[in-house]
Structure 1
Amino acid sequence: MADSGGRSPVSAPPRRLVVAVATYRRPQLLAGLLPLLDEQARAVSSEGLSTEILVVDNDPEGSAGPEVTALTLETPLTLVSEPRPGLTAARNRILDEAGNAGLLAFIDDDEQPSSGWLTRLLEVMTATEATAVTGPVESSPVEPLDMWLKGTEVFARARHSTGTTRRALATNNLLLDLHQVRDMSLRFDPRFGLTGGEDSMFGQSLLRRGGTIVWCDEAVVRERVPEDRLTRAWALNRATRSGETWVRVRTVDPPRLRAAGLRLRYAATGAVRWTLGTALALISRARGDAEGLGRHQFSAAGALGMIRGALGRTIVEYSRG
């Protein structure tokens, strides 16, 4: 039907949703993930919403290429190389490649989405108009955990009621409203590129600029925990790095005097927690309580991370050197 001016009405272009994966030398896991993302994307595609899949390969040698190009998917798939090392470079490349898309979903290359994952994220974003919607990660270790690792709860992830407002996000399960993200001029901070925590910093920046983060408990992704992470050394290193990151994201941008005061406070808090955790670990060891020993040593490692973060020390977990 023509409009009053004799012209045919022009329908609005469909919204664009990009489902993105940053990958580094995990071609087989990626090859298993992409067909699942194809199913997720096709389930939400409509006349009003077009979907695409984006893979950013952070390996300068292009290890993802053969696996990706061998796949036949119905959803359009783009593979780009980002040789600059670090998570920040890969995630900012995703933001750049998404272009004028309205929506951007993140998932890690070692995860798999549950049925309806993307649908649920979109439903909550539509209902809440949040800047970001995030959801749970369920970890499945390849081997049974010993009592010490069980005590740490390092693989136990928090769950919340759908619609709950959150104060943090992670890019392993995330949907962003890119219109709001661009209006806030949000990017991933290069200071966290090789240490990790770039998503924590992104979330804090989002909140400081008036954005909102909402939880969707039905949008589950699952990760298989490999054998090399089922060690005490890995768990304690993760706890220490998490403590460092928690402090860094809260002290990296405030004015110098305020940042110094915060670092002093967090260092003191960390010292108290380290002392308590160490004492309780000694008691657990004397009692032969392996689970309690793991819990308290893990807590002490996190407290040590707070002290290190307050002193400006960081573990460079993603160094390629």
Structure 2
Amino acid sequence: MITTGYGFETTALDVVEGVDLSGRRAVVTGGASGIGVETVRALATAGAEVTIAARDIDAGQRVASSLTTATGNKKISVARLDLASQESVKAFVRTWDGPLHLLVNNAGVMATPLTRTPEGWELQFATNHFGHFTLTLGLFNSLRAEGARVVNVSSSAHLMGDVVFEDIHYEHREYDRWQAYGQSKTANILFGVEAGRRWASEGVTMNALMPGSIATNLQRHLTAEQLQEIIRRNDAETRRRVKTPEQGAATTLVVATTPLLEGLSGKYFEDCNEALPHTGGVLSGVAPYAQDPESAAQLWKVSEEALGF
């Protein structure tokens, strides 16, 4: 197990203290809000050239301007990216030029009402997995150019269930917004397991993480009553352990920068350390099905077929 000396209280800036990312190029999806902002802040503070990939260009420009002032790093830019739109993802890929050392697949949607993309895909899976799959594979030659890390922001919600390959898009079963979110987060972890097998000789690694419970606009699709229901389901100790966005981004920065992950893929981190196997009764650890090589290979195949790779 990989342990770092960091923990629950660690912030993203704590992790990058003394880290030099000068000359390194990074893309952070969803970098205009929530933990994405703090991820960009930490990377820029360490000297990286950072592209904020966001649906809302105006919001991205405001964040970029603010962080340029705060960090003194003038190499923070913004590009439009809507992960629910395959055309938008492909357009982003076409405009990328040169090497890419760090791709942080941070953006996502959570617990949305049943919504389908023009292709008929369920929105959460289409955004959280398919969008990042197309983005990552589209940028692979840039990632491979000098070796790189891909960081997938997953969630403890993956414990809600495995990917249901027989009916990923809820065409034949009743839609459950939380199960749908959970399977998309399981896919984020499985993606790294198969990437590790396929890319072992390419110098590109991929690992996943749980940032923690953080109040961000990720909860925008939930009503006040639904948020209260989540609170009622959690015990008092869980409620006390809500993280700030600065703390939530810390595990992302660990996975992105720690030398301990050099050459390794398919790992899952929480609270800045590699997670233990999940045991019943706790909302932590990694489920065995989320690191199953056969499921990871099947997910890759299904994704390639759906996306035309």
Under a length normalisation based on structure 2, what TM-score does the superposition of the two structures give? 0.34
- Larger RCO: Structure 1 or Structure 2 (Cα < 8 Å, ≥ 6 residues apart)? 2
Structure ID, larger Rg: 1
